[in-house]
Structure 1
Amino acid sequence: MTQLPIKSFSSIHEFLEISNLLPSSDALVLEALTHSSVKKHYNHEQLEFFGDAVLRLAASEFIRNGYPTMDVGQQSSLRSQLVSDSWLANFGKIMNIDELILKGSDAMHDVTAIKTIRAEMVEAVAGAVYIRQQTTKNIILLFKAEWEITAKKFLQNPYHFNCKSALQEWSQSHQLGLPNYTTIEQSKLHGDDLRFRSIVIVSEQLEGEGWGRSRKEAEQSAAKNCLQRLDAQ
């Protein structure tokens, strides 16, 4: 395994170059960065599936080492944020993964799928790196700088990333019962930010609306809208 310097990386390309794992010289990394729309006999999908588990393990190790006194509930909430699709998509953008991805014409012209593809490719790269190096150590180094930024924000406001939990805690503390969510799929377009629409009602006294690429994302958005209305009162 290549011993990487303890530093922040400016791009995934730089990380792969220092790791001697550039797609031009490593078939597994090439597979990780080849989107299924290219129609080759190999693509990112299996490594994405594997990389999802790798990132959960790496994030768990990062949290255990960096925040050993954090309770398990908070650790779980923080890990969910560190490996969420939206976080990974943003990380991929910051780390310029787009310049490495091989995409077919359909994917190139599907602007609604950009975030989803970025997140999937970040997972696939993590999977490929783990298979090659058999350790999470270098993966943690790649993500460490951005994970630390997110963890700091999380510690300042643990509910910032989990508005559903915050809304539920507020409603129960006011003896209003559980928030009631109604979530409807508005379109079938993969990666569409407006694919799901969610309405949340708290004891007929408070209502919020949200949208998202998944049911979970839409419900979090609706809960956030509710909390913002509370703050405005």
Structure 2
Amino acid sequence: MAQPLALSPHRVEQLQQLLKRIGVQPNRIDPAGLALVDEALSHTSAGLQRNHEQLEFLGDAVLRLAASEYIERHHAALAVGERSALRSHLVSDRWLAEVGQAIEISAALRIGNKAGGDATAAATLRAEATEALIGALYRACGSLEPIHQWLTPIWERTSREVLSDPHRGNSKSALQEWSQAKGLGLPSYSTEQRSQRHGDPERFHCRVSLKGWVSAEGKGGSRREAEQQAARAALEQLHQAN
């Protein structure tokens, strides 16, 4: 096994401050674990030998498992389909980017000049780094416990928002039901890909139209998310008009 790289005192302090912001006491992470956190926060664009990619891959699986456990513990009454829909919100790229912003992950992110100067990629970088950090914590601590301690309060807020929505986040279905009830037929969606970057939360742009009644736009990291955001914007317009 490769020995962890020696970190400068400044870098150690930087990483420990980030760990404190997510509720992990630095003494829980040994030097090898801290090196993993450093690796998670070293973007490929920085040109370093060790970078975030493998830990991001691991973090994706760890995040989905931890979110599934959270739902089992706190929302056991939900049917399987409802659990799947809720989990999609709890692990989305948009959600990851928001978590990364809340913990100021960019302050500890090592990144190349070109990528760092691309303002449109900022949300994607935060999402990738947050997912890699989740993978690093799992590797460093050997359990999901620190992930649950960090993310459960955030998941609770997100879950309340999703579950209080009568449409459960499925705005497309709600808009379709409304339009058919009004005899307007089906909404029309036009979606285009505006970025080739995987994980870009604004990779797709969508416009939804409904026989002259409403036209709205949405953005998302996938076609489905962009369409959902456009449908949600359309429903908000209809609600304000009534």
CA displacement 1:98-125 (0-9 Å, x = unmatched): 2221111112211111111111111101
CA displacement 1:6-46 (0-9 Å, x = unmatched): xxxxx742034446338896222211110111011221112
Q: Could you tell me which residue of structure 2 aligns to residue 62 of structure 1? A: 70
Question: Greater CA deviation, 173-182 or 28-37?
Answer: 173-182
Q: Could you tell me which residue of structure 1 aligns to residue 19 of structure 2? A: 13
Q: Which runs of 5+ in 1 are unaligned?
A: 1-10
Q: Could you tell me which residue of structure 2 aligns to residue 157 of structure 1? A: 165
> In the alignment, is the contact (CA less than 8 A) between 2:209 and 2:216 conserved in 1?
no
Q: Could you tell me which residue of structure 2 aligns to residue 138 of structure 1? A: 146
> In the alignment, is the contact (CA less than 8 A) between 2:162 and 2:169 conserved in 1?
yes
- When normalised by structure 2's length, the TM-score is 0.79
Q: Could you tell me which residue of structure 2 aligns to residue 208 of structure 1? A: 215
Q: Could you tell me which residue of structure 2 aligns to residue 228 of structure 1? A: 236
> In the alignment, is the contact (CA less than 8 A) between 1:47 and 1:125 conserved in 2?
yes
For this pair of structures, how many residues does the alignment match?
Answer: 222
Q: Which runs of 5+ in 2 are unaligned?
A: 1-16
- RMSD, aligned CA: 2.7
Cα pair distance change 1:46/1:173, threshold 3 Å: farther
CA displacement 1:124-183 (0-9 Å, x = unmatched): 011111122332122011101111111112221153633223223434555655433221
Matched, 1:33 2:41: yes
Matched, 1:120 2:128: yes
1:56 Cα shift?
A: 0.7
**Separation in structure 1 between the aligned mates of residue 175 and residue 147 of structure 2, nearest angstrom:** 34
**Separation in structure 2 between the aligned mates of residue 207 and residue 72 of structure 1, nearest angstrom:** 33
CA displacement 1:63-108 (0-9 Å, x = unmatched): 1101111222221111111111111111111112122211111122
**Separation in structure 2 between the aligned mates of residue 22 and residue 217 of structure 1, nearest angstrom:** 39
- When normalised by structure 1's length, the TM-score is 0.82
- What is the SS of the residue equivalent to 1:26? helix
- What is the SS of the residue equivalent to 2:159? helix
> In the alignment, is the contact (CA less than 8 A) between 2:55 and 2:136 conserved in 1?
yes
Letter in 1 for 2:79: D
**Separation in structure 1 between the aligned mates of residue 27 and residue 157 of structure 2, nearest angstrom:** 24
Cα pair distance change 1:64/1:169, threshold 3 Å: farther
Question: Greater CA deviation, 187-196 or 137-146?
Answer: 187-196
Identity in percent: 43
Cα pair distance change 1:66/1:192, threshold 3 Å: closer
> In the alignment, is the contact (CA less than 8 A) between 1:23 and 1:29 conserved in 2?
no
